[in-house]
Amino acid sequence: MSRDYWKPYRPSEYLLWNRERVMHVHRRLGFSAAKIECSQALAAGHESTIDRFLQPVTSGNETIQSGLIRQAIDRNSIRALEAGWIMRMWHAGNPLAEQLCLMWHNHFATSFLKVNDCDAMWNQNQLFRSLGCGRFADLLKAVLLDRAMLVWLDADSNRASHPNENLARELMELFTLGEGNYTEKDVQEAARALTGWRVGDSGVTFNRFEHDGGLKTILGVTAAHDLASLADLLIAQRATAERLAWRICDHFLGTPVPQVAIDQLAKILRELDLHIGKAVAQVVRSERFFSNDVVGQRFRSPVSLVVGGIRELGLHEDTSGKAAVSPQLAASWMEAMGQHLFHPPGVAGWQGGKSWLGSQSMIQRAAFAKSLSEGELTGGNEEHPTAIQLASGQSQLD
């Protein structure tokens, strides 16, 4: 492996462009591929295949997804909202946008259990989708004014007379700097900067009488900091670029990455003004992304196994008389395996890796493969014996 960790990939006798790497691209940048898609990508070559994810030419048919999402919002049904997102994963013309949406859902982890508002949760999801591939500055500032996030981290309790540190702490620890790069005093001062924002029937509003407009010293900088200036200050820190480099590597590579590689990617991010899409492109075009240390070396998440596994078998849509798997059922199986969409386990999100392979999760993975193979997920009228392969040890890796 080159000392330049993000050197572009070129197929060679050691790193062949083969079916294994074709599936690797489709699983990491999208939600897997059926056999015909795999064959087409193999013939098209790696550059054309990656370009198809990075530069999609169609938005896909969203009629069914939109109907499920509207139903979810009208009824405040989180099950329908989960199903709507899964349908997007299966059918949207920009699968990388859905992968990035999933990455940000884990980074800015927010749960319906507290928010209890499908409209707010979907608006946040759409925010990740629309801004998640651009400049991190735009995304971060939007998240700090996002209705679901402000409910989740108690913005209504954060006022000049009685600051609440929840949002300020997670902003520094999880969203930007990471542990060890700020002090308790920085958190307290940042909480003051974030005072005054409220969530009500009219959405998110600012009450200047509840905002602390005094001088605050954050990370050594003294000013009358407010939400915007605080965000700008955090975005300018080297530690934020390093945190984002780690997040991108964690999501798209999964296996441990040397600190020197994180540092190199952080430098690239700073040069790109923290443009996430351009940094992701650098990673997924790299030799490291296609290396033997990464391909097939990560435990599959429930989303990868269930959403991707169903798509690999072509059971995500009605074709040739075969019934599709219900997205609601797919969501239930993912929950049983430990990944409940819109319900991350805490502010730090899902940990991934070996955490996916607890004894209960493995039982559910085997049961899912059996139920799918016996046709129980498609109405029980037709068996799909090849689905049992999803229970194999090899199928637990991507």
Give per-residue pLDDT as tens, 263-296. Answer: 999 999 999 999 999 999 999 999 999 999 999 9
pLDDT over 70 (residue 199): yes
Residue 2 confidence (pLDDT)? 46
Tens digits of residue pLDDT in 116-161: 999 999 999 999 999 999 999 999 999 999 999 999 999 889 999 9
Q: What is the pLDDT of residue 59?
A: 54
Report how far apart, in Å, the C-alpha atoms of 93 and of each of 88, 96, 121, 123 are: 9, 9, 22, 20
pLDDT mean over 95-113: 98
Residue 380 has pLDDT above 70, yes or no: no
Q: What's the rounded Cα separation, in Å, for the pair 367 and 333?
A: 9
Q: Which residues of 163-184 are buried (b: 16+ CB within 10 A; e: fewer)?
A: bbbbbbbbbbbbbbbbeebbee
Q: Minimum mean pLDDT among 94-103, 276-285, 337-346, 353-362: which range?
A: 353-362
Q: How far apart are alpha carbons 90 and 317 in whole angstroms?
A: 9
Q: What is the residue-wise DSSP string for 87-98?
A: HHHHH-S-HHHH
What one-letter code names the amino acid at 167?
Answer: L
The pLDDT of residue 106 is above 80: yes
DSSP for residue 306:
I
Of the chain, the percentage scoring pLDDT greater than 90 comes to 87
Residue type, 44: A
Mean per-residue pLDDT, 309-328 = 83
Q: What is the pLDDT of residues 204-222, one digit of tens each?
A: 999 999 999 999 999 999 9
Q: Find all residues with CB under 8 Å of 91, minimum gap 6, and list them.
A: 60, 61, 62, 64, 65, 316, 317
CA–CA distance, 309 with 25 (Å, rounded to integer): 15
What pTM does this model have? 0.96
Q: Look-up: residue for tokens 């735009």? A: 138
Strand partners, 223: 216
- 377, exposed or middle or buried, with CB in 10 Å at 0-12, 13-18, 19+? buried
CA dist., res. 311 & res. 304, Å (int): 10
